[in-house]
Structure 1
Amino acid sequence: MINKIDLTNFKCFKRLALPLTNLTALTGFNASGKTSTIQSILLLAQNIQKTRQDDKISLNGPLVRLGSPGDVLYEESSTKLAKVSIESENEEISLSLDFSKRNADRTVDIDNLTLSSSQGVFECNSTSVLFSQVMGSRSSIFDSIKNIVYLSTGRQDLDSLFPTSHDNCEFNVGEKGEFAPWLFDISKDNEVCSSKRHPSEMADSFRRQFNAWFGDILQGAEADTQLIENSNFVRLLFRHNSTSEWRNPTNIGYGLSYVFPIVVSALLARPGDILVIDSPEAHLHPQGQSKMGEFLAMISSSGVQVIIETHSDHVINGLRLAVSRSLISSSQVGMHFFNSRSEHVISPLIDSNGQVSEWPEGFFDQAEKDLAELSGW
């Protein structure tokens, strides 16, 4: 599990040291640094997954597209060096980037790359060299970052056919959720571990457990898939309840299609895996948003680290309800409010009753402000 992210001269941050928990919610104003924080992890992840054979880092790839070096270096930096460090309980990966030279392919030179663990310190200026050294060290943080799964806010366009994947990561639904139907199809009869089972569903099969949670979030909705013979495609079908007709995603609305890859990846992820979700509330009714918060809390309590970026007070309230119902410990849930005006991050605490320690200006208080004005208070 990632316990801390430490950034220096990275995008909008001169310095940021941010603790992470089992479930971390990044909230706050637009353009305040939430996405940049997630991008720092994804930058390291995509370069570990697609290792270059030189001393450079690619800023643009399958997980994150940061543009040019000028878009990444903190604009008021007094040096040409930026640093990204990611820590677990016993390990730390630290990447120092040198922006002093402009590379035509929009890469950045590696000044230093270090992995510190109980087995020693690996240090070099090349991802390929470090990768070969780490392969034999069984680094848990290295493996977790390498296998990280990211779901962006833009999901796969609604369609009836979806592709298969050759990715070795068993819960990688793809950035847009495009491989979720295929993973659902091959996992239908697999057993879901007891810590993730829905309390009202006795059967332990993936399909039954999936539809129990899916129906919780979406008022009884269900999903199913069909492998198209002699092809590399899977058909995805939805229905509103157990007695209604099966329909293609194009005929049933965006909410089900957006929730589908989240539930698939969450149920397939194993303890130690990391799942990053941008806007889990997208296209969901407020009740569904609250249920989504509870569901992600349950997944996190099973050992999967979950990091979300959200603007939804309903998702946050779902997390609070999960704590108050003892579905997850208050110490396992972290919230960070990014305030662009004060240029710092405020981290309210949740107690065992689901109560929040402080409500800074702009922290999910707009509904109260609007109602106060409408009521003439």
Structure 2
Amino acid sequence: MIDSITLKNFKCFEDDSIKLSKLNLLCGGNSVGKSSIIQSILLLKQNEDNILRSILLSELNKGMTYMSLNGPYIKLGSIKELLYTEAKDDIISISLKFKDHDISISNINNSKEWSVSSNIPNGSIKLFQFKNPLKYISSNRITPENAYNLSEEDINKNNIGINGEFTAHLLAEKKHSEIPNISLKHPKSITNLLLENVSNWLSEISENIEINSRILPDVNQAILRFKYSYSQTQSNELTPQNVGFGLTHVLPIITSILTAKRNDVIIIENPEAQLHPKAQAKLAKLFCLAANQGTQLIIETHSDHILNSIRAETKDSTISNEKSKIYFFQKDLEKFKAKKTEIKINKDGSVDQWPSGFFDEWDNQLDRLLW
């Protein structure tokens, strides 16, 4: 679990820290810093091997290492593009604090090398938290297709790809595996098996749906197929193109959560995309259940339905209010930097403040209609 993030001169952040809990919502308008928080984590994840090597060989390399800015997780361009516009110096730094240690990287004067510092004892590789699973589900998720690619390397790590592109493969290979966190078993599920529980949670999005996945070895691909139950029978098998687009879009999110273990970290961008408001609320309940049982979720969202569902689930004690944090980001136009407001959910589901611009557009438009 990541306890906190500190950013200095990184993109729109001059010098700021945020503390994280189990369930974390990053909210606010477009281009106000939400994605920069996520990118700072992914930059370290993308370079975890280089960082670890630098820590273990610090006496030889003086804690310096090359950092890939453009890789499988993120593409950030050049060092110059990362430097805060009004920076007083040319030092960019990102620091992550974990339970047992800290890791910091910094770049000076647009150097090709970054300095790495940490209080991980030499040789204590097991303490390096990013060697524990961190899953990232981007907003650019898979679209409905007849078939999807395979990746044994990824699914052996319970990794479905940053766009969910290996979801079909994982479900085909591990459909009869038990979900790691039994507390996430759906109330309608008879077993703890992955595919049954994915189907039942997906039924919260589209009622009475059943999903199956299988591998086509001749073409080295995996397929997803859906059925609907009605009356005493079932529909024919349906391809992803012939069910709602939102089902394909949300499937990687549900699968990632149900395959996660306690203390895993899952970063999700725009989980609400393509989903009906009721479906968004149901998905938020799954977020609450997972976070309350120990999975850390960092969610970038524009959805008031997700926010309000989390508030309601807090009131119903699905999740403790001590296990969630909401950050509302705005842009300080005078300094062209991000500024944050932490909003606390109380035990009764109320919030301790409601700043201007924080999910208030419904009220703004209603006022126009009424007055």
2-structure distance, mates of 1:282, 1:240: 22
Instruction: Say yes or no: does 1:188 pair with 2:191.
Output: no
What whole-Å deviation, never above 9, does each CA across 1:82-112 have from its counterpart, x for those lacking one? 11000112211111112334xxxxxx311x2
1:16 to 1:324, Cα distance in 2 relative to 1, 3 A: same
Larger relative contact order (CA 8 Å, sep ≥ 6): 2
For residues 339-350 of structure 1, the aligned pairs below 5 Å read 339-341=330-332, 343-350=338-345
1-structure distance, mates of 2:156, 2:68: 22
Match of 1:158 in 2: 144
Farther-moved stretch of structure 1 (160-169 vs 176-185): 160-169
TM-score, with structure 1 as normaliser: 0.88
Match of 2:58 in 1: none
What whole-Å deviation, never above 9, does each CA across 1:139-182 have from its counterpart, x for those lacking one? 152323xx311111111232111111112663311111100111
For residues 58-137 of structure 1, the aligned pairs below 5 Å read 58-101=68-111, 108-110=112-114, 112-117=115-120, 120=121, 133=123, 136-137=124-125
Match of 2:348 in 1: 353
Match of 2:193 in 1: 205
The answer to whether the Cα contact below 8 Å between 1:4 and 1:87 also exists between their aligned partners in 2 is yes
2-structure distance, mates of 1:72, 1:11: 5
For residues 46-61 of structure 1, the aligned pairs below 5 Å read 46-49=46-49, 55-61=65-71
2-structure distance, mates of 1:100, 1:205: 50
Q: What displacement does 1:4 show?
A: 0.3
Equivalent position SS for 2:95: strand
For residues 317-356 of structure 1, the aligned pairs below 5 Å read 317-341=308-332, 343-356=338-351
Q: What displacement does 1:344 show?
A: 1.6
Match of 1:171 in 2: 158
Gaps of 5+ in 1: 102-107, 123-132
What whole-Å deviation, never above 9, does each CA across 1:59-81 have from its counterpart, x for those lacking one? 11010110111111112112121
1:168 to 1:159, Cα distance in 2 relative to 1, 3 A: closer
2-structure distance, mates of 1:300, 1:163: 30
What whole-Å deviation, never above 9, does each CA across 1:184-213 have from its counterpart, x for those lacking one? 111111112321111232322111111111
What whole-Å deviation, never above 9, does each CA across 1:37-63 have from its counterpart, x for those lacking one? 100000000111577998211111010
2-structure distance, mates of 1:370, 1:359: 17
What whole-Å deviation, never above 9, does each CA across 1:206-254 have from its counterpart, x for those lacking one? 1111111111123333221121133421111123446222211122231
Paired AA for residue 371 in structure 1: L
Match of 1:8 in 2: 8
TM-score, with structure 2 as normaliser: 0.90
Paired AA for residue 350 in structure 1: I
Q: Please list every run of at least 4 consecutive aligned residues from structure 1 whose deviation after the TM superposition is greater than 3 angstroms.
A: 49-54, 239-242
Identical-residue share of aligned pairs (%): 33
Equivalent position SS for 1:276: strand
2-structure distance, mates of 1:159, 1:215: 20
1:169 to 1:5, Cα distance in 2 relative to 1, 3 A: farther
2-structure distance, mates of 1:168, 1:155: 17
1-structure distance, mates of 2:189, 2:130: 36
What whole-Å deviation, never above 9, does each CA across 1:6-34 have from its counterpart, x for those lacking one? 00010111111001110100000111000
Match of 1:29 in 2: 29
Equivalent position SS for 1:58: coil
Farther-moved stretch of structure 1 (220-229 vs 239-248): 239-248
Paired AA for residue 150 in structure 2: T
1-structure distance, mates of 2:125, 2:42: 22
Paired AA for residue 346 in structure 1: T
Paired AA for residue 30 in structure 2: N
Equivalent position SS for 2:92: strand
Paired AA for residue 77 in structure 2: G
The answer to whether the Cα contact below 8 Å between 1:171 and 1:264 also exists between their aligned partners in 2 is no
Paired AA for residue 163 in structure 1: N
Match of 2:265 in 1: 274
For residues 226-375 of structure 1, the aligned pairs below 5 Å read 226-241=214-229, 243-341=234-332, 343-375=338-370
The answer to whether the Cα contact below 8 Å between 1:149 and 1:171 also exists between their aligned partners in 2 is no
Q: What displacement does 1:330 show?
A: 0.6
Farther-moved stretch of structure 1 (324-333 vs 167-176): 167-176
1:50 to 1:224, Cα distance in 2 relative to 1, 3 A: farther
Equivalent position SS for 2:241: helix
2-structure distance, mates of 1:161, 1:168: 16
Gaps of 5+ in 2: 55-63
The two structures, once aligned, show a CA RMSD in angstroms of: 1.9
What whole-Å deviation, never above 9, does each CA across 1:98-146 have from its counterpart, x for those lacking one? 2334xxxxxx311x212224xx4x5xxxxxxxxxx4xx431152323xx
The answer to whether the Cα contact below 8 Å between 1:69 and 1:99 also exists between their aligned partners in 2 is no
Give the alignment partner of residue 142 of structure 1, picking from 124, 130, 151.
Answer: 130
Equivalent position SS for 2:119: strand
